[in-house]
């Protein structure tokens, strides 16, 4: 007998996957509603995407092509280790090309290339409750969701404007789903918020430590909260990407030397490399 | 305007295990009327206030409230959503400790604006104007609008709490020892303010207090409670000037006479 551990396909046992799939179905049926699920211990620390990994493990099939990104990049620690995890436990094909992937697990970004109806986007969520920092009691926040008692959410935006003159929330910007549930879109930049609206792909959100799953079915209306006289504004960048020259994309700042030199480049590495015509090699620059 | 009472309770009773919280209380409050509930600590005043404001379910008895459409509704069978709506529009609740009624991490303006945003105001400028206006009415300077209530004195916090409650023009305000813990001159100013609001807005109020002077200044009618029971009730001046019950006489006589 071999002493090497034998894992079930995609690490989780089939009963666990069924449990998670049931939660996913419920989440899809009630867009934006946080469904509790029995989150398992995963072989990685909380905060590294245990929720997203469990979702991916439950929906992954042998024919799927997996892409994993962390802040838009395919080559950062979190993305590389999760990709390797599924290469080892499921033996599925992986890619860094957005267009080739059937499942994309993401931490804090939505790819620049528009998603299609045959793709699923899996988000890693640290804190699923958008009302948490305003109302610490879970019993109370559940009541507030049930009764659509969302005045408090605007108090947060009000405070932003009174303090900074504009809504200063730039990531994890709260949204309302189909005019019903207020939802935390996970810490994606608010630049990505409009991409969630009427998206062709299924979007799943998993919070492992907090044991919640929620979802946006394809073509769901997602509106960012705002005031009539302070409407939601997408982040704008003055210059195009320093490498590929793309405009209208989300840029990361990279410090290039100790003389104050800096470069603004696409946060979505695959998009940037595709535009520059390279074979994706996973390099930072 | 109808003659039906705004809020009405019948046989309101609450046991804490075998211990009586309050027993068989009947009361009516009409629009524009201020009722004081007095008694010593542990006499069931605060229990009664929690029962009336449906924060505590009674062991038996009923409470009904006449909503703005003129219909009297049984509060205990009202759905939670409608009850919450009442709480943030038609009712106010002024706590003795302002920290319980305010969000201490949110600016004064945000505190006052919260109810407006809860009922659907979505225009920042208008919310802010309304908040500024209400701060002025409770004598808080407009430049303090972005300050946290943590930086406010006790009296200011109490006034801010009142502004927060009044912004949706409630018809009924519950007050639990509104002047408790404030020094005498601040108390006087606060009482003046409450009196002004009551007369300007035709506000009905149920004020729980152990301070007979507060009851005399604010209320039209008074209820004296002891051991969870109402032992005497009537017009405030009548009861305080000519108390019939031995216990009420004791209460009145224990005030320092000047």
CB contact under 8 A, A152 and B115: no
CB contact under 8 A, B80 and A163: no
Residues of A in contact with B114 (CB under 8 A): 151-152, 155
- List beta partners, residue B63: B9
| A195/A201 Cα distance (integer angstroms) | 10
| A203/A116 Cα distance (integer angstroms) | 11
* B9 assigned to some structural domain: no
CB contact under 8 A, A154 and B81: no
* B112 assigned to some structural domain: yes
Residues of B in contact with A159 (CB under 8 A): 106-107, 110
Active site residues of A: 32, 241, 244, 266, 272
| A182/A163 Cα distance (integer angstroms) | 23
Which domain covers residue B143, as residue numbers? 106-168
Residues of A in contact with B107 (CB under 8 A): 159, 162-163
Closest CA–CA distance from residue B138 to any residue of chain A (Å): 21
Q: Residue-wise over A271-281: b if at least 16 C-beta within 10 A, else e? A: bbbbbeeeeee
- pLDDT (tens place) for every residue of chain A, 285 residues total: 566 667 899 999 999 999 999 999 999 999 999 999 999 999 999 989 999 999 999 999 999 999 999 999 999 999 999 999 999 999 999 999 999 999 999 999 999 999 999 999 999 999 999 998 888 899 999 999 999 989 889 999 999 999 999 999 999 999 999 999 999 999 999 999 999 999 999 999 999 999 999 999 999 999 999 999 999 999 999 999 999 999 999 999 999 999 999 999 999 999 999 999 865 454 455
What 3-state class would DSSP assign to A212?
strand
| B257/A88 Cα distance (integer angstroms) | 87
Q: If contacts are CB pairs under 8 Å, which of residues 71-90 in chain B contact chain A?
A: 80-81, 84, 88
Count of structural domains within chain B: 1
The pTM assigned to this predicted structure is 0.86
What 3-state class would DSSP assign to B61?
strand
Q: Write the CA distances from A211 to A9, A40, B232, B234, integer angstroms.
A: 22, 9, 55, 57
* B146 assigned to some structural domain: yes
What 3-state class would DSSP assign to A213?
strand
C-beta of residue A168 within 8 angstroms of C-beta of residue A156:
no
| A76/B243 Cα distance (integer angstroms) | 81
How distant is the alpha carbon of residue A185 from its chain centre? 7
C-beta of residue A212 within 8 angstroms of C-beta of residue A30:
no
Write out the two tokens for A172: 């994890």
ipTM: 0.86
Q: What is residue A14's DSSP assignment?
A: H
Of B110, B117, B123, the CB nearest to A228: B123
* B204 assigned to some structural domain: no
* B160 assigned to some structural domain: yes
Q: How many CA within 13 A on the CB side of residue A175?
A: 30
User: How many residue pairs from chains A and B have C-beta atoms closer than 8 A?
Assistant: 53
**Quick one: B189 exposed, middle or buried, by C-beta within 10 A (0-12, 13-18, 19+)?**
middle
What 3-state class would DSSP assign to B14?
strand
Write out the two tokens for A102: 């059937």
| B205/B218 Cα distance (integer angstroms) | 9
CB contact under 8 A, B115 and A151: yes
Closest CA–CA distance from residue A141 to any residue of chain B (Å): 14
| B152/B186 Cα distance (integer angstroms) | 13
Query: How large is the greatest C-alpha to C-alpha distance in chain A, in angstroms?
Result: 70
Q: If contacts are CB pairs under 8 Å, which of residues 147-206 in chain B contact chain A?
A: none
The residue to which tokens 């989440």 are assigned: A27
* B164 assigned to some structural domain: yes
| A83/A68 Cα distance (integer angstroms) | 6
* B256 assigned to some structural domain: no
* B98 assigned to some structural domain: no
């Amino acid at each position: 007998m071999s002493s090497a551990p034998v894992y079930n396909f995609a690490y989780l046992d089939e009963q666990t996957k069924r449990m998670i799939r049931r939660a996913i179905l419920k989440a899809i049926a009630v867009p934006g509603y946080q469904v509790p699920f029995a989150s398992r211990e995963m072989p990685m620390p909380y905060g590294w995407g245990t929720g997203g990994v469990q979702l991916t493990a439950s929906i992954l099939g042998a024919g799927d092509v997996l892409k994993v990104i962390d802040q838009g990049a395919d080559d950062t620690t979190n993305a590389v280790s999760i990709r390797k995890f599924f290469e080892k436990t499921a033996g599925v094909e992986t890619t860094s090309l957005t267009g080739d992937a059937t499942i994309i697990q993401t931490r804090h970004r939505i790819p620049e290339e528009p998603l299609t109806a045959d793709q699923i986007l899996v988000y890693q969520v640290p804190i699923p409750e958008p009302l948490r920092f305003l109302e610490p009691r879970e019993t109370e926040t559940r009541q507030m969701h049930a009764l659509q008692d969302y005045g408090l959410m605007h108090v947060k935006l009000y405070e932003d404007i009174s303090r900074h003159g504009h809504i200063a929330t730039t990531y994890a910007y709260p949204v309302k789903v189909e005019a019903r549930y207020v939802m935390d879109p996970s810490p994606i930049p608010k630049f990505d918020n409009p991409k969630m609206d009427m998206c062709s792909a299924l979007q799943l959100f998993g919070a492992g430590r907090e044991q919640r799953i929620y979802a946006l079915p394809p073509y769901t209306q997602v509106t960012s909260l705002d005031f009539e006289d302070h409407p939601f504004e997408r982040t704008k960048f003055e210059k195009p990407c320093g490498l590929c020259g793309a405009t209208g994309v989300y840029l990361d700042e990279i410090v290039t030397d100790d003389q104050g030199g800096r470069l603004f480049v696409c946060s979505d590495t695959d998009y940037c490399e595709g535009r520059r015509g390279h074979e994706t090699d996973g390099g930072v620059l | 305007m109808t003659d039906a009472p705004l809020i009405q309770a019948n046989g309101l009773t609450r046991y804490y295990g075998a211990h009586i919280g309050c027993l068989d209380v009947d009361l009516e409050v009409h629009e524009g009327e201020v009722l004081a509930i007095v008694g010593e600590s542990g006499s069931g005043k605060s229990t009664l206030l929690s029962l009336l404001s449906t924060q505590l379910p009674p062991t038996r008895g009923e409470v009904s409230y006449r909503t703005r459409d003129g219909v009297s509704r049984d509060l205990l069978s009202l759905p939670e959503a409608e009850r919450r709506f009442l709480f943030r529009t038609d009712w106010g609740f002024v706590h003795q400790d302002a920290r319980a009624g305010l969000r201490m991490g949110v600016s004064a303006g945000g505190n006052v604006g919260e109810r407006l945003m809860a009922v659907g105001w979505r225009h920042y400028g208008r919310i802010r104007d309304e908040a500024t206006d209400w701060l002025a009415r409770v004598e808080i300077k407009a430049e303090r609008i972005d300050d946290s209530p943590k930086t406010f004195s006790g009296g200011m916090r109490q006034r801010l709490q009142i502004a927060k409650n009044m912004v949706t023009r409630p018809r009924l305000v519950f007050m639990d020892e509104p002047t408790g813990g404030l020094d005498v001159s601040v108390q006087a100013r606060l009482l003046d303010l409450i009196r002004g609001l009551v007369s300007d807005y035709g506000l009905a109020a149920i004020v729980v207090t152990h301070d007979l002077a507060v009851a005399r200044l604010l209320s039209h009618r008074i209820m004296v409670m002891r051991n969870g029971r109402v032992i005497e009730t009537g017009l405030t001046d009548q009861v305080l000037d000519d108390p019939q019950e031995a216990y009420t006489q004791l209460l009145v006589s224990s005030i320092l006479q000047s």
